[in-house]
Chains A and B, each alone.
Chain A
Amino acid sequence: MLGQAKVEERIKYALSLSNAGQTEVVLLGETEQLTRFANSHIHQNVAREDLDLRVRVVLGSKIGIASTNDLSDAGLQRVVESATAAAKPQQDNPDFVSLPAPQPIPEVAGFVEATANCRPRARAEAARSICLPCREQGLNASGAFATRSYEYAVGNSLGILAYYPTTLADLRTVIMSDTGSGYAAACSLDVGEIDAESLGREAIDKALRSRDPLDVAPGEYTVILEEDTVGSLMAYLAYMGFGAQALQEGRSFMVGKLGQKVAGEHITIWDDGLDSANLPMPFDFEGVPKQRVEFIAHGVVKGPVYDSYTAGNEEGKRSTGHALPAPSDNGPFPWNVAMAGGQATKQEMLASTEKGLWVSRVHYVRPVHPLRTIVTGMTRDGTFLIENGEIAGPVKNLRFTQSILEALSEVEMICRETKLTREAFMENFIGGMRVPALKIGRFAFTSATEF
């Protein structure tokens, strides 16, 4: 960690080196330590510290970008020169309006010393608390425990200067028996909130209950989707349509649907970077404070997130504070998504289900038809048949090919509790999905696998 004073000094120095009409400097600093285990022992154990300083210069409206991880005076001189050299041979970009002007940024407390100072020994003890019980029970423990500290800072020639340090502890484990597996995960700003032993028990329980799975025929089923599954689906729904660039290009499911009902009336999904129940981030990578943005409210489409570039392309729009570091191929993106909880418990969902499938988690989800929000993926680490309101037994994994919005139109029950999940493709920055478990009346499974 460089600290606020050093970071701001370097940003101001880099800005001072630029003769461009407008200049932006973004610093992304990360220190990560991760302990990984498999076959019930620690097999990979790593530490990394890096920072990425990105300069964006605007000459007229030609935009050049360069980055470095050398923060010396010479390194900053070179990166500003490179950004300028990148801009010069271009033509003016008629869609560019301006870098953002400063706005007040709320204070957010996102840094926990204990997480930043977590040592390898502590992570190894956590891994041991999962591995040893597995060895005793003839199970195979695997997982990863990461502790990270971040420094994010943005400055620009219009006066923005924003700095935010934060931390993240993230533990995930997969426990395998000969014929089954179970998964558990938790993440928090505070490493003290990660109870490795408890996560191990949760995954072991599911691994034991998923032994000797039976075949079940693909088809449409009533499903209970646990939070990790819902989180994955929400992440891909966001990817397929919560950003303004996709809407403006005609590629978002929101096209032609603003103000229309696309999901059940109890479905409300939003993004809020200031939400302390998520992993908060007070500003985006242009230094614009994050606003709460509703995507779907009571089943009705409200709108996407914007950065300054996409806002400039639409009359009456302003940045909602969702810019990614330039250049961003996909435009603005929400990183702190939440879905409203309901009234039910998981036990009540189960008891109300005559026949269905319980899906703990999904794997390798990918878009198939973005406008119809159709995705495909596999179930994983604990899929169970439900009969007469009870878990009848484990089943082999199934492939689903399903429209997310159609599924959200068939939601029968929503769990009261919500859980914070993180999808793999969102690992680059701080943030997650806070979502409830759902009972859905119809969900399409199109094939099965052998385990």
Chain B
Amino acid sequence: MNELATRALNLAQTKGARYADIRLVVLETESLVVKNGIVEAVSLDVSQGFGVRVIAHGAWGFASSARLDRETVDEVTALAIEIARASAMVSGEEIDLGPPEVHVDTYNTPTEVDPFQVPLGDKIDLLLACDEAMRRTEGVAVAEGNMLFIHRNQLFANTEGSLIQQETTETGVGLVATAVGQDEVQNRSYPNSFGRHQGTGGYEFIERYDLLGNAERLGEETVALLSARQCPSGVTTLILGPTQLALQVHESCGHPTELDRALGTEASYAGTSFLTPEKLGSFQYGSEIVNITADATLPGGLGTFGYDDEGVPAQRSYLVKDGIFVGYLTSRETASRFGQRSNGAMRADGWGSIPLIRMTNINLEPGDWELEDVIADTDDGIYMEMNKSWSIDDKRLNFQFGTEIAYEIKNGERRDLLKNATYAGMTPQFWGSCDAICNEKYWDVWGTPNCGKGQPSQVAHVGHGASPARFRNVQVGVMK
């Protein structure tokens, strides 16, 4: 792989590129799906390829291929240059990447148990046992369980002298029990919804979450939801559980702090951002207890790595500090426009994609409350947990979420189970109403493995640290 990388970079420079980089990737994936006592799928997938990115003729070009041979490297590099020449026909400002990033290094995800060495039979047995436990409750129509393991071996090299070898490992697992009633479908998921919870690390990730110990509860709760009271409509106090809060952070903070969005380069698809550059350093994003960080060094986070896909080291930085908007997620090109260095947020979803500014682990820093004290301190409100639906406008202001489960809170106590819970709001007003955040005891980094962005569309794996938090005067019960 080193030889092909050197060949591409030399050729790019010969053909006039003032900057070039290459990523060569081998990706291995193992996935298992169990449903209603049957193994629905066991799939082992391998993908390899490379992509060459150049700045030539004052503009960007990128080309990629699955064929790892010298002839294809030459063709692809030449195509990248041709594409850059075409880009220059409709050029913008000069591209400035800022100071060189030169790193020669290796990085491996710390793992205790290589998930690819755990026998398939053991994984299937665990999923089937969970499946049986979920279906013990009469009324569970569908019980599903899945595991996913990813191993990525990537070599990055650039014309500035970087050579970085990274091997990252991801592990994911999810259970969901579904009950069907009269005009109702209810789900309960664990540890997270929409597929699974996922992080960087080995099989120890799965063992941490006691799947079997939680499976029967999922079946009980999803059936109970069928006959639960509908979430009432009104304006009330809202306490969000950590998995739902993780998605709230994702949609209403992670995305609007992507500097490429703020500068308009995602306008044709996902949109722009209400956090425009003149707001940096002064805009009141949330209450003063709200602190949000980007941290690609968090152990086990799904957005954790050694170097981003521009070869910038993983790092931690503030996006919101004491409620004030103070930072963006950046790339070399966007950061240099502000006289800064990239904070390492450029990530591509594979060898065939260009890196874009993506989230790493975007975290609501823990506060100092105990959850039971937050509830005891709440006269009238609703506790909502585990995302079921989500939507937000194209500047990341107006949002609406639904959760799998909710509880009424009355006079400081958790009371009735509620179904079809939804809430809506506007981002700064919502975060401005945050008046309690639970402490580190409740804090975990939740994986969001399905973040979409870009044209062609890319899917990023990102993480969000969160513990429960309370918000005042929130519109709930949006659905008729």
Q: A45-B83, A427-B456 are in contact. Are A397 and B60 (CB under 8 A)?
A: no
Q: Does B156 contact A (CB under 8 A)?
A: no
Q: Does A42 contact B (CB under 8 A)?
A: yes
Would A66 and B45 count as touching, CB distance under 8 A? Answer: yes
Q: A44-B60, A329-B33 are in contact. Are A366 and B390 (CB under 8 A)?
A: yes
- Contacts A37-B90, A50-B49 known; 15 new A-B pairs at CB < 8 A: A42-B87, A43-B60, A45-B62, A50-B64, A69-B48, A85-B120, A86-B44, A95-B38, A119-B86, A251-B142, A327-B40, A366-B390, A378-B393, A424-B269, A451-B395
Minimal beta-carbon separation of B68 from chain A (angstroms):
9
In the bound complex, what is the Cα–Cα distance between A174 and B270 (angstroms)?
11
Would A450 and B41 count as touching, CB distance under 8 A? Answer: no
Q: A250-B141, A368-B422 are in contact. Are A47 and B79 (CB under 8 A)?
A: yes
Would B184 and A449 count as touching, CB distance under 8 A? Answer: no
Residues of A within 8 A of B (CB): 32-52, 62-70, 78-79, 82-83, 85-87, 89-91, 93-95, 119-121, 123-125, 127-128, 131-132, 140, 142-144, 146, 172-174, 176, 249-251, 255, 326-327, 329, 363-372, 374, 376-378, 380, 397, 399, 401, 424, 427, 444, 446-451
In the bound complex, what is the Cα–Cα distance between A401 and B391 (angstroms)?
11
Would B121 and A124 count as touching, CB distance under 8 A? Answer: no
Minimal beta-carbon separation of B276 from chain A (angstroms):
12
Q: Does B426 contact A (CB under 8 A)?
A: yes
Minimal beta-carbon separation of B33 from chain A (angstroms):
6
Minimal beta-carbon separation of B329 from chain A (angstroms):
17
**Closest chain B residue, CB of each to CB of A125:** B89
8 contacts between A and B (CB under 8 A): A47-B64, A47-B80, A48-B51, A48-B63, A62-B39, A69-B49, A142-B267, A399-B400
In the bound complex, what is the Cα–Cα distance between A37 and B33 (angstroms)?
40
**Closest chain A residue, CB of each to CB of B76:** A47
Q: Does B172 contact A (CB under 8 A)?
A: no
In the bound complex, what is the Cα–Cα distance between A144 and B458 (angstroms)?
14
Would B180 and A251 count as touching, CB distance under 8 A? Answer: yes
Q: A44-B60, A120-B82 are in contact. Are A401 and B87 (CB under 8 A)?
A: no
Would B424 and A447 count as touching, CB distance under 8 A? Answer: yes
Q: Which residues of A contact B390 (CB under 8 A)?
A: 366
Q: Which residues of B contact A32 (CB under 8 A)?
A: 456
Would A124 and B89 count as touching, CB distance under 8 A? Answer: yes
Would A444 and B33 count as touching, CB distance under 8 A? Answer: no
Would B86 and A124 count as touching, CB distance under 8 A? Answer: yes
In the bound complex, what is the Cα–Cα distance between A444 and B480 (angstroms)?
10
Minimal beta-carbon separation of A73 from chain B (angstroms):
15
Q: Does B84 contact A (CB under 8 A)?
A: yes
Q: A46-B62, A121-B86 are in contact. Are A368 and B402 (CB under 8 A)?
A: yes
Would B267 and A174 count as touching, CB distance under 8 A? Answer: yes
- Report which of A40, A326, A399 forms a contact with B398, defined as CB distance below 8 A: A399
Q: Which residues of B contact A448 (CB under 8 A)?
A: 398
Q: Does B106 contact A (CB under 8 A)?
A: no
Q: Does B155 contact A (CB under 8 A)?
A: no
Would A41 and B391 count as touching, CB distance under 8 A? Answer: no
Between A146, A364, A372, the greatest number of chain B beta carbons within 10 A of the residue's beta carbon is seen for A364
- Report which of B39, B76, B395, B422 forms a contact with A90, defined as CB distance below 8 A: B39
Minimal beta-carbon separation of A279 from chain B (angstroms):
17
Minimal beta-carbon separation of B421 from chain A (angstroms):
11
- Report which of A48, A65, A146, A380 forms a contact with B44, defined as CB distance below 8 A: A65
Would B64 and A399 count as touching, CB distance under 8 A? Answer: no
Would A397 and B424 count as touching, CB distance under 8 A? Answer: no
Between A172, A368, A446, A451, the greatest number of chain B beta carbons within 10 A of the residue's beta carbon is seen for A368
Q: A128-B89, A377-B391 are in contact. Are A94 and B38 (CB under 8 A)?
A: yes
In the bound complex, what is the Cα–Cα distance between A374 and B455 (angstroms)?
28
Would B83 and A47 count as touching, CB distance under 8 A? Answer: yes
Within 8 A of A (CB), among B365-414: 389-395, 397-398, 400, 402
- Report which of A42, A83, A326, A380 forms a contact with B394, defined as CB distance below 8 A: A380
Q: A86-B120, A124-B86, A444-B480 are in contact. Are A142 and B264 (CB under 8 A)?
A: yes
Would B479 and A401 count as touching, CB distance under 8 A? Answer: yes
Would B398 and A70 count as touching, CB distance under 8 A? Answer: no
Q: A38-B264, A370-B185 are in contact. Are A49 and B43 (CB under 8 A)?
A: no
Q: Which residues of B contact A424 (CB under 8 A)?
A: 269, 452, 457
Q: Which residues of B contact A427 (CB under 8 A)?
A: 456-457
In the bound complex, what is the Cα–Cα distance between A112 and B82 (angstroms)?
23
Minimal beta-carbon separation of A311 from chain B (angstroms):
16
The 3 closest A-B pairs by CB, nearest first: A327-B41, A41-B92, A120-B86
Would A46 and B83 count as touching, CB distance under 8 A? Answer: yes
Q: A66-B45, A376-B391 are in contact. Are A142 and B397 (CB under 8 A)?
A: no
In the bound complex, what is the Cα–Cα distance between A249 and B400 (angstroms)?
27
Q: Which residues of B contact A144 (CB under 8 A)?
A: 268-269, 455
Q: Does B465 contact A (CB under 8 A)?
A: no
Q: Which residues of B contact A380 (CB under 8 A)?
A: 393-394
Minimal beta-carbon separation of A124 from chain B (angstroms):
4
